[in-house]
């Protein structure tokens, strides 16, 4: 039996910052390059281009800190954008381990206000094989640790 790409990941994370600051970290190139990507990967500022509107895009390249020849370009097209509340896109990602060419995923990010000026981020992404979904979830959690640090400096 082959593994199919039907696995979707979901993550919920509370950030100690209001929704407008968390949302901005996803659409502002200056901020996105500072936190996006799992530990061991960086995003060069010059690779980041964002146009946060339906039909707009988010493009960036994750680069391995240990081997800069290991690169993973991400080209996303937004289908829904509600400022400070919602980002929905499909992502074409290249350079993923165990894949050839580009792989397409759907990503949904919801930014919910929480008491005390906090934000509950709800993320849904897929489809993945189960292993790729697990790896992606670990990558997001690592990225969100970096985002926590960035947001703490922004307050």
Residue with tokens 């996303």: 76
Whether 153 has a pLDDT exceeding 70, the answer reads: yes
Query: What integer pLDDT is reported at residue 4 of this predicted model?
Result: 54
Largest distance between two CA atoms of the chain: 51
- Alpha-helical (H) ranges within 40-129 are none
Please state the pTM of the whole predicted model: 0.92
Instruction: Give domain limits for the chain.
Output: 8-154
Encode pLDDT of 134-148 as tens digits. Answer: 989 999 999 999 999
* 102 has a pLDDT exceeding 90: no
Does the pLDDT of residue 3 top 50, yes or no? no
Record the tokens describing residue 114, joined without a space: 């929480």
Whether the Cβ atoms of residue 72 and residue 45 lie closer than 8 Å to each other = no
Superfamily in which the 8-154 domain is placed by CATH? START domain (3.30.530.20)
Asked whether the predicted pLDDT for residue 5 surpasses 70, the reply is no
3-state secondary structure 107-135: EEEEEEEECCCEEEEEEEEEEECHHHHHH
Average pLDDT over every residue of 19-35: 97
């Amino acid at each position: 039996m082959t593994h199919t790409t039907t696995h979707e990941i979901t993550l919920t994370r509370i950030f100690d910052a209001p929704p407008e600051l968390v949302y901005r970290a996803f659409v502002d190139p200056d901020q996105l390059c500072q936190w996006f990507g799992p530990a061991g990967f960086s995003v060069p500022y010059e690779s980041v281009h964002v146009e946060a509107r339906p039909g707009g895009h988010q493009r960036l390249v994750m680069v391995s800190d240990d081997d800069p020849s290991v690169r993973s370009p991400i080209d996303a097209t937004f289908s829904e954008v509600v400022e400070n509340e919602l980002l929905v896109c499909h992502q074409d990602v290249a350079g993923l381990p165990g894949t050839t060419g580009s792989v397409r995923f759907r990503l949904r990010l919801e930014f919910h206000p929480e008491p005390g000026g906090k934000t509950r981020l709800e993320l849904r992404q897929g489809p993945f094989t189960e292993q790729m979904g697990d790896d992606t979830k670990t990558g997001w959690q690592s990225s969100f640790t970096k985002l926590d640090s960035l947001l703490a400096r922004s307050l």
